[in-house]
Amino acid sequence: ESLCTLAIQIVFPFLMAGMGMVAAGVVLDKVQHWNVFENVPEIFILVPALLGLKGNLEMTLASRVSTYANKGLMDDRRKMLSIVWGNMVLVEAQAMVVAFLASLVAIVFGWIPDGKWEMNHAIILCAGSLLTGAIASCLLGLIMIGVIIGSRKLGINPDNVATPIAASLGDLITLTLLSTIVKGLFNVLNNPETAWIGPAIVIFFILITPVLLWLAHRNEYTREVVKYGWEPVIMAMVISSTGGFILDFALLKNPGVAVFAPVMNGVGGNLVAVQASRISTHLHTWLCDSLLYFFWKKWVVFCQDNPHSGSAKVMWLMVIPGQLIFLFTIEQLQAGHTSITPQFIAVYLMVSLIQVAILLHVCQWLVVRLWRKEDDPDNCAIPYLTALGDLLGTGLLAAGFL
């Protein structure tokens, strides 16, 4: 691909993804004042972890299925149906496990500052997290597979478009679902006649998860992920939850952070997910010892000799016009609690460029390291990278506001 072709293929999904993240930021800005969010502030800790499901699961699904498509496996109808079924069941099972663990982490992080424990809060976090994860992962998984099959038929490289489209819808769908579900659960649990619904939801998902894992294990295309794909997904959830802990405190100091957090976190995560998917496909399809050695030695991503330096530079330079468009959109929507001044724009762009530069360098090093360890980067790299994007984005944004 020429850099021009790459830029054209990436720019539309990237901007579409950004608008989805702007919409998610506007939603977060509005719902932070709802009763349920003010009474159960631990929900803010859940936000990056659940938004991170698109990086942990949907983007990983997109990267994995894109590799299958580029290797020609999706051209055979029987194989395609097996790949789709196995990956959808796997994503649902992973969503259940990650959502439940994320709710436990949110409960612990919420308990740490003041040492108070409320059972209703714990049930809202668990049931809300599980329902959101299940519905969002099902919707986004189906959309992802449709995009990849369509890209293949249109002659577009799915590596360039699938992950940003996952992100464009992922943040908005997940945040809207989470807000609506926790609001409903808050009302349900405060009514003695319907209080049983919350615990019943948690029990149902705990019982169905082993069945989904068993079905995914029977599928030849997802068996290895069921056996060995948990470490990156769970570690990414912990990293994202740490970002959520920072977000919770940042919103106490400055509510204006809310509208920008999904945009800052998402831009870095989207771009680095595309880069990781491209490098992984390159290794899968053109691997030889000399190429791997070359990748390992030339891990400085902007180095001219690096075969992926061109795509890295395109993505890094897209940050400035992209973020300016997103800031202008936020300004026109009159969202947030912050005036977008020249000083703010300068600091915001600076921290965004720092975030993406760090992520692109970590991506180059991490993908090759995982491959050398015989771990499939399609399954392992993107969860770490998008979670790191959440942590860096939230931390740098909070520092920028300071």
Supply angle C-alpha 215, 61, 269, rounded to 5. Answer: 145
Burial of 366 (0-12, 13-18, 19+ CB in 10 A): buried
Q: Give residue 290's pLDDT band: very low, low, confident or very high (50, 70, 90).
A: very low
Q: What is the pLDDT of residue 212?
A: 92
To the nearest 10 degrees (0 to 180), the angle between helices 77-114 and 230-253 is 40
Q: Mention every residue, 6+ apart, whose C-beta is less than 8 A from residue 162.
A: 62, 63, 65, 66, 144, 147, 148, 151, 277
Q: What is the pLDDT of residue 14?
A: 80
> Cα separation of 322 and 207, whole Å?
44
Mean pLDDT in residue range 272-293: 70
Q: What is the pLDDT of residue 206?
A: 92
Structural domains of the chain, count: 1
Give exposure, 66-83, as e/b (b: 16+ Cβ within 10 Å). bbbbbeeebeeeeebebb
- DSSP secondary-structure letter at 222? T
> Cα separation of 123 and 189, whole Å?
9
Q: What is the pLDDT of residue 203?
A: 93
- Residue in this structure with the two tokens 């991506």, named with its chain if needed: 363
The answer to whether residue 294 scores a pLDDT higher than 60 is no
Higher-confidence position of 89 and 238: 89
**Continuous segment of H or E residues that includes residue 43:** helix 43-51
Mean pLDDT in residue range 117-145: 87
Q: What is the pLDDT of residue 68?
A: 81
Please report, for the chain, how many H helices and E strands are present, in that order.
Answer: 16, 0
Q: What is the pLDDT of residue 16?
A: 80
Compute how many other C-beta atoms are within 10 angstroms of the C-beta atom of residue 333. 14
Contact predicate 219/227, CB 8 Å = no
Mean pLDDT in residue range 161-181: 78
Q: Where are the beta strands (DSSP E) in 98-192?
A: none
The answer to whether residue 383 scores a pLDDT higher than 70 is yes
Least Cα distance to 84 among 153, 206, 92 occurs for: 92
Higher-confidence position of 124 and 225: 124
Q: Give residue 305's pLDDT band: very low, low, confident or very high (50, 70, 90).
A: low
The answer to whether residue 49 scores a pLDDT higher than 80 is no
Q: What is the per-residue pLDDT across 251-281, written as a single tens digit (0 to 9) for each? A: 777 777 878 888 888 888 888 888 887 887 7
Q: Give residue 220's pLDDT band: very low, low, confident or very high (50, 70, 90).
A: confident
Structural domain for 154, as ranges = 3-401
> Cα separation of 42 and 21, whole Å?
21
Q: What is the per-residue pLDDT across 2-11, written as a single tens digit (0 to 9) for each? A: 777 777 777 8
> Cα separation of 6 and 24, whole Å?
27
The answer to whether residue 183 scores a pLDDT higher than 60 is yes
Contact predicate 157/151, CB 8 Å = yes
Q: What is the pLDDT of residue 293?
A: 47
Mean pLDDT in residue range 298-304: 54
pLDDT mean across residues, the chain: 81
Q: What is the pLDDT of residue 308?
A: 67
- Which of 61-65, 293-297, 324-328 shows the lowest mean pLDDT across its residues? 293-297
The answer to whether residue 159 scores a pLDDT higher than 50 is yes
> Cα separation of 342 and 347, whole Å?
9
Higher-confidence position of 260 and 244: 260
Q: What is the pLDDT of residue 22?
A: 86
Contact predicate 43/36, CB 8 Å = yes
Contact predicate 304/222, CB 8 Å = no
Within its chain, how far is the Cα of 58 from the centroid?
8
Q: What is the pLDDT of residue 240?
A: 79
The answer to whether residue 115 scores a pLDDT higher than 70 is no
Compute how many other C-beta atoms are within 10 angstroms of the C-beta atom of residue 346. 11
